[in-house]
Structure 1
Amino acid sequence: MTNHEERAGRASSKPKRVLVLTLAAALLVPAGNTLLPATVQAESAVPSAGSAAPAEESSSWVPLRVIAEALGARVDWEGASRKVTVSRGKSVTSVWIDKDQAFLNGKESSLPGKVRLENGATLVPLGFLREALGVNFGWKGNVVIPEAQDLEAKAALFVNELMHGRKDHLTAASTPALNQALTPMYAATWSAQLLPLLGEKTLLSSWETQENSVHTNLILRYQTDQVPYPIEAIIRFSKAGLVDDFSFSQETAPSAHKPASYDQSDSYTEREVVIGEGSLALPGTLTVPKGDGPFPAVVLVHGSGPNNRDEEVGGAKVFKDLAGGLASRGIAVLRYEKVTREHPFKAGAQEKFSLWEETGADALQAASFLRGQKEVDANRIFLTGHSQGGYAAPLILERDEQKLFKGAVLLSAPSGNLMDVVVEQQEEALRRLTETGQPESLLQQQEQAVAAYKAIREQFKNPAYSKDQLPEQFPLGSPYWWFEQRDYMPAQKAKAQSVQMLILAGENDWQVTLAQYEGWKEALKNRTNVEYRSYANVNHLLAVYDKLSTGLEYGQSSNVSADIVRDVAEWVKTH
């Protein structure tokens, strides 16, 4: 199972997850009161926003700092020379108080008047500031007004308004669905989290746009003196140009993943699709073999955490490999962004967000979508769940009232109670780290993690608590998500089901150990339509790794085992 550090928040070799938790956990602990915008600093320190009359003409003079910082720029003040430097992206601009001289990216230019300081605000011409920031904006009523189609500027402004907890401005910029979720309490909570992180000496260093079938995503990267790594904000816009969701994390390096040798891309086509409808619709990719259909098809169901459609972890893209490998063998494949990836805030803000909402409901919608595609054999659709996706498979099959799924493939799926699995996972990690001679500091850290999870398990199993009587404090994120499934035992639920299954496990998997694989075999020993296979040296990401897997290898480029791709394809095609 993919590590539960997203919910646990313990130290990790992937700091991105720690930051995700820090911000997400804040949503569970409401702030006491709404925070006000940052106060203006005195003239003797750093020139600040002050106040200025509405301005729309390029020749109008406007406050440099408040506008520049609202759009993500870093503003630096040198008191001795009275120099103000504005940095945004790759652009650097310098001006001096009481001078009509400016330098824009090293080139000198003249201003139509001297830069002046009024009421603590550095005033510059509007047209010049537009050029310096690379944004065509208006300034009216002390509000920055970007062009309607300039989503990059709108995204930067949204981050600034969220950081300062300005709920009225956020409301105007957001979809109704996001506004319903982003209550004043949550806006204040996010402000309390972001102000210390991005509040001072922050630079919007780069940005890019990524399109999918549901959102236009602006990815903003910030550099700040507060933390030693870049912060990545993803602001998701609806097709109408309103902010529909957002997330913050540590920026990660591009994946080292390389296509697998069995992925014959000339043997299939791919197209962007939409799964579901309404405020939580998901973008996806349908991979279809070339040739005459209809073809059998699989729905790929994610492991834990906010996975993308490729189920990208470090140097692995588990679902991209499976999609390409299976389609190359004549099987259509549907994969999609997980709801906690595409709609992270709206999903997390739900008071009773459960395993079903996170993993199950979308799997059924995906199967329903496939049934309507002409290239797909509607009677041969298979659920294929990895890790948590396989763990949830019996729940999904139980609620599959239309019998959309003909069978299920479980890949590295836990068979027992989730909290027991997590403790087992941490104990196995400690054993492997010790065996591979890791530094004492890392071993001590892991020993602390084992002790912590055991204590959490005691609280989790306390009969005084339930999904209807939640503890006031619970260290793994949303207590409802955990307690709602406290009695869920996937192998026991599958025991009473009749849908044919293929259960596969890696023998080098520390996250879902072979004890879980044996749990499936024991629970389902009286069923005659379940097949089992395990693979030597295969880790949790379904890749062959010849050394003892500890998770430290996940950053390396890897591919799903060719044997697993072959066996899944043959099983699907013969059932």
Structure 2
Amino acid sequence: MKVLSLVLITCIFVVSSFGQDITGQWHGALKIQGVQLPLVFNVTETESGYTATMDSPNQGAFGIPVTSTHFENNVLKISVTNSNITYEGTLGDGELITGTFTQAGKSFPMNLSREEIEEVGANRPQEPKKPFPYRSEDVIFENKQAEILLAGTLTMPEQEGIYPAVVLISGSGPQNRDQELLGHKPFLVLSDYLTRNGIAVLRFDDRGTEASAGDFSSATSVDFATDVASAVQYLQSRPEIDKSKIGLIGHSEGGIIAPMVAADSDDIDFIVLLAGTGIRGDKLLLAQQALIGEASGMSPNQLAENEVLNKKMFEIILKDQSEEEKKEEIKSYLTQVFRNIPKDNLPAGMSEEGYAYAMDSQYMNPWMQYFIKYDPAPILEKVSCPVLAINGEKDLQVPPKENLEAIKAGLEKGGNTNVTTMELPGLNHLFQEAQTGLPNEYEEIEQTFSPKAMEVILEWIQGQVE
């Protein structure tokens, strides 16, 4: 799953340099508390200098836009502003770059080379290993509306029979069928647990990701909902599946998508919302940014400045005006804001106008525009099937109290009386047992999915399908 936060801003330009060839793929690996995270920088030369993208294979994230790429006097400087990432290294003989990776004020040595890094796996004790004590089948199904083929895995109990089933729906960002990120595979662990306990599970690669076709970059939650509806139709075609007992389990943004599908179909018999949202997107992002910022040690002044900036940006996006008018207003506002930022604080080689343009591109992304405007309440009012909504107490991305209350209020307003909400103590956004709840803790935790959370999910589903 990916974080419900602002997407990384667009790579725009660079300052040119002379000397050795820096273009191509550069492989490195961060080593944090014994865990190795491979990273790849893909550097391209243009007429005006260099551009780059970043890959994080363990997170299933490829082509992440880099804000700026600067290479001069054999020193490579890379900046990814919205993730607060910088990399600086010196190119020496033998095509080895010796340098330092910094994020959120924490620095780690990381060298880059042309050769792929041999991955050393993190300890993930919950990850199931073959042979599985159940049937596992790779499948392909069609989203006829979008005219694309989607690829996934269907797991079913070994014994012949007709089984209840669920479709797993991933969070924001391009996710594979295991929802793989930071060395964790939450959907693999969850599907294994449910299937061992008599529930068939279909999980699939998001459109445009791994084996699934389609364009992820131009899609919004509405488009992803049609993919999920197609997955349900596929399950209905399988003789091993009980057509009257098909449900949805959505995590994070998946918790927005599941009610969309359920509200529009009589074929959904229950839904489970894992860290689903109940408040409008702009309000969620403001709360998320404040909680993560405070937990990360930002000062009250920094938090206040960040809130003012983002509130204004969201107000512009929420206006009833054309896309071009919004773009111009955002660029104008950001240009004014960034004139007050010391030049040393801007990414290498970037002007105030260029920075404003990059931020404008980020906020005008189709997914971001839709998410900021989307209010889950009207859709929740139309959901009549049983609903379980759970959040971790330490979730800083989808604050539990206000979202669970809003989900319950929306469902009950529509007359739904079969609603269960739970805040699970000590768990973060990924439903791991956590200390702080901060995203930078996700990878360090060996646990992928709290057994207590999985028990809650299973017991509730069993109560619906008996």
Q: Which amino acid aligns with 1:330?
A: G
Partner of 2:226: 361
Query: Is 1:471 the equivalent of 2:327?
Result: yes
Taking the TM superposition and a 5 Å limit, the aligned residue runs for 1:479-518 are 479-484=365-370, 487-514=373-400, 515-518=402-405
SS of the residue aligned with 2:388?
A: strand
> Contact 2:4 / 2:252 at 8 angstroms: preserved in 1?
no
Q: Which amino acid aligns with 1:535?
A: L
> Contact 2:378 / 2:410 at 8 angstroms: preserved in 1?
yes
> Please, which runs of 5 or more residues in structure 2 have no aligned partner?
28-41, 48-62, 75-94, 100-109, 332-359
Partner of 2:437: 549
> Contact 2:172 / 2:252 at 8 angstroms: preserved in 1?
yes
Whole-Å Cα distance in 2 between the matches of residues 493 and 231 of structure 1? 50
2:295 aligned residue (432, 448, 452): 432
Moved more, 337-346 or 417-426: 337-346
Over alpha carbons, which structure has the higher Rg? 1
Taking the TM superposition and a 5 Å limit, the aligned residue runs for 1:97-496 are 256=122, 258-260=124-126, 266-276=132-142, 280-342=148-210, 347=215, 350=218, 353-357=219-223, 359-400=224-265, 403-434=266-297, 449-465=306-322, 470-472=326-328, 473=331, 474-484=360-370, 487-496=373-382
TM-superposed deviation, 1:542: 1.0
> Please, which runs of 5 or more residues in structure 1 have no aligned partner?
10-20, 30-37, 47-64, 75-87, 89-158, 166-189, 202-222, 234-249
SS of the residue aligned with 1:270?
A: strand
Query: Is 1:569 the equivalent of 2:458?
Result: yes
Whole-Å Cα distance in 2 between the matches of residues 224 and 475 of structure 1? 34
TM-superposed deviation, 1:449: 4.6
Whole-Å Cα distance in 2 between the matches of residues 465 and 341 of structure 1? 31
Whole-Å Cα distance in 2 between the matches of residues 231 and 450 of structure 1? 40
Cα 1:501–1:195 change in 2 (3 A) is closer
Cα 1:457–1:567 change in 2 (3 A) is same
Whole-Å Cα distance in 2 between the matches of residues 298 and 198 of structure 1? 50
TM-superposed deviation, 1:432: 2.2
> Contact 1:301 / 1:335 at 8 angstroms: preserved in 2?
yes
Whole-Å Cα distance in 1 between the matches of residues 67 and 295 of structure 2? 37
Q: Which amino acid aligns with 1:415?
A: G
TM-superposed deviation, 1:73: 9.8
> Contact 1:268 / 1:327 at 8 angstroms: preserved in 2?
yes
Cα 1:349–1:486 change in 2 (3 A) is closer
Partner of 2:425: 536
Cα 1:456–1:502 change in 2 (3 A) is same
SS of the residue aligned with 1:414?
A: coil
SS of the residue aligned with 1:303?
A: coil
TM-superposed deviation, 1:309: 1.3
> Contact 2:143 / 2:227 at 8 angstroms: preserved in 1?
no
> Contact 1:263 / 1:321 at 8 angstroms: preserved in 2?
no
TM-superposed deviation, 1:302: 0.7
Cα 1:461–1:336 change in 2 (3 A) is same
> Contact 1:163 / 1:194 at 8 angstroms: preserved in 2?
no
Q: CA RMSD in A?
A: 4.4
Cα 1:275–1:257 change in 2 (3 A) is farther
Cα 1:195–1:449 change in 2 (3 A) is closer
TM-superposed deviation, 1:531: 1.5
> Contact 2:185 / 2:448 at 8 angstroms: preserved in 1?
yes
TM-superposed deviation, 1:261: 8.4
Whole-Å Cα distance in 1 between the matches of residues 129 and 451 of structure 2? 10
TM-superposed deviation, 1:311: 1.2
Whole-Å Cα distance in 1 between the matches of residues 207 and 112 of structure 2? 25
Count of aligned pairs: 368
> Contact 1:383 / 1:405 at 8 angstroms: preserved in 2?
yes
TM-superposed deviation, 1:255: 5.5
Whole-Å Cα distance in 2 between the matches of residues 194 and 343 of structure 1? 29
SS of the residue aligned with 1:384?
A: strand
TM-superposed deviation, 1:484: 4.0
CA displacement, residues 445-472 of structure 1 (integer Å, 9 cap, x when unaligned): 7666544433322222334356x96534
TM-score, L = length of structure 2: 0.66
SS of the residue aligned with 1:269?
A: strand
Cα 1:459–1:573 change in 2 (3 A) is same
SS of the residue aligned with 1:321?
A: helix
Partner of 2:78: none
TM-superposed deviation, 1:198: 11
Cα 1:226–1:405 change in 2 (3 A) is farther
Q: Which amino acid aligns with 1:275?
A: F
Partner of 2:347: none
TM-superposed deviation, 1:497: 2.6
Whole-Å Cα distance in 1 between the matches of residues 403 and 260 of structure 2? 17
Whole-Å Cα distance in 2 between the matches of residues 346 and 336 of structure 1? 13
CA displacement, residues 127-160 of structure 1 (integer Å, 9 cap, x when unaligned): xxxxxxxxxxxxxxxxxxxxxxxxxxxxxxxx99
Cα 1:421–1:307 change in 2 (3 A) is same
Whole-Å Cα distance in 2 between the matches of residues 423 and 266 of structure 1? 43
Whole-Å Cα distance in 2 between the matches of residues 226 and 554 of structure 1? 27
SS of the residue aligned with 2:138?
A: strand
Whole-Å Cα distance in 2 between the matches of residues 406 and 450 of structure 1? 40
Whole-Å Cα distance in 2 between the matches of residues 548 and 416 of structure 1? 23
Whole-Å Cα distance in 2 between the matches of residues 271 and 460 of structure 1? 44
TM-superposed deviation, 1:375: 2.2
> Contact 1:470 / 1:483 at 8 angstroms: preserved in 2?
no
TM-score, L = length of structure 1: 0.54
Cα 1:503–1:290 change in 2 (3 A) is same
Cα 1:548–1:485 change in 2 (3 A) is closer
Cα 1:308–1:500 change in 2 (3 A) is same
